Amino acid sequence: MAKKNATDKVSCNMNALPLKTRMRPYLIVAPALIITIGIMIPFAMAIYFSLTNYSFRMPTYKFVWFENWIKILKSEDFWRALWVTLRYAFWSTLVEMVLGMGVAMLLNKLNNAFSKILRVVLIFPLMIAPITATIVWQLMLNSSVGIVEKFLNVFGVYNFPWAASPDTAMLTVVMIDVWVNTAFVMLLVLAGLQSLPKSPFESAKIDGGSAWFNFKNLTLPMLKPSLYIALLFRLMAALQEYAIIFGLTKGGPGDTLMNLSLTAHLTGFKFQKFGYALPYILVLWVIVNITAKQIVKRQRAAQKQASGLES
């Protein structure tokens, strides 16, 4: 009875408040709710149309249920596209994380006027759209006028195939991705390095700890949250990469670089099999979603450990 009276009292107090004050919590939540609805509607439509034979060629369509899904799971094109997606994401992210961390640690150690100039210069590629960077690299890798080709000529290497050969196409697109996005990793890691407390390093210096000891036992554990954030952003983008591969070779030579994104685009818009193309995108969504959740889980654990809340 007392609980009911307290509830009624709170309700009366809320009703006594001005309408603007009572609506404030709903107005705060509204943008997030609108965004969620805006995301869920296309997602639900994608699942719906993946169960149909919808095509831009036909005004009508019918349900085929899981026929499209069964077809792609039996298709060699799907498994090849999945393999290309995973390879590209693995190599580009790995190189960017290693280079980005290395450059960030170097700039943090130098901490002089030259390093400040380098920080500005190194983020220039990040300001360029990936498709524009790809066009620039196409010119640089040109066998007749490209500056990279002329540089290789000095060492006796002529007519390097780059994106023209299935053996070196993956190397080429990964190289362009690394050139564009390493600065992003560098900035995140550098921010993480500059936020680390100084006292543990000063104590280790007094105790005669080596550079490797400091890196392994102090820098790396405390830097893990920043590394996981960089890994999350870069791996998610690499799994969904479209612009660099399409701009360079459109998935070629042959189907060497046909990842899930390009295969879905080709199937849906060129061959106009929209219902059949959607499972490619939904599989990619599942991969991205599961991977992102695992990284976020590890990032939170690393953050607790770095703050001393968890041993």
Higher pLDDT, 233 or 38: 233
> Do the domain assignments include residue 118?
yes
Q: What is the pLDDT of residue 206?
A: 78
The CATH number assigned to the domain holding 204 equals: 1.10.3720.10
Q: What is the pLDDT of residue 182?
A: 94
> Do the domain assignments include residue 7?
no
> Do the domain assignments include residue 30?
no
Q: What is the pLDDT of residue 16?
A: 63
Average pLDDT over residues 115-137: 88
> Do the domain assignments include residue 43?
no
Q: Name the domain count of the chain.
A: 1
Higher pLDDT, 290 or 156: 290
- Nearest CA to 280 out of 269, 296, 293, 294 is that of 269
User: Which domain range does residue 298 map to?
Assistant: 77-306
> Do the domain assignments include residue 218?
yes
> Do the domain assignments include residue 49?
no
Q: What is the 3-state secondary structure (H, E, C) of 108-176?
A: HHHCCHHHHHHHHHHCHHHHCCHHHHHHHHHHHCCCCCCHHHHHHHHCCCCCCCHHHCCCCHHHHHHHH
pLDDT class of 150 with cuts at 50, 70, 90: confident
> Do the domain assignments include residue 193?
yes
Say if CB 282 and CB 50 are below 8 A apart.
yes
Q: What is the pLDDT of residue 264?
A: 93
Least confident of 121-130, 166-175, 212-221: 212-221
- Residue 189 CA, chain-centre distance (Å), reads 16
> Do the domain assignments include residue 45?
no
**∠ at Cα 32 (288, 46), nearest 5°?**
45
DSSP 59: S
**∠ at Cα 66 (62, 68), nearest 5°?**
80
84, two tokens: 């290309």
Q: Does residue 31 sit in helix, strand or coil?
A: helix
Instruction: Calculate the dihedral angle through the C-alpha atoms of 245, 146, 120, 122, rounding to the nearest 10 degrees.
Output: 50
**∠ at Cα 232 (226, 237), nearest 5°?**
135
199, two tokens: 């006292």
Q: What is the pLDDT of residue 143?
A: 81
Whether 3 shows a pLDDT value over 60: the answer reads no
Distance CA 199, CA 192 (A): 16
Q: What is the pLDDT of residue 10?
A: 47
Q: Cβ of 243: how many Cβ atoms within 10 Å?
A: 16
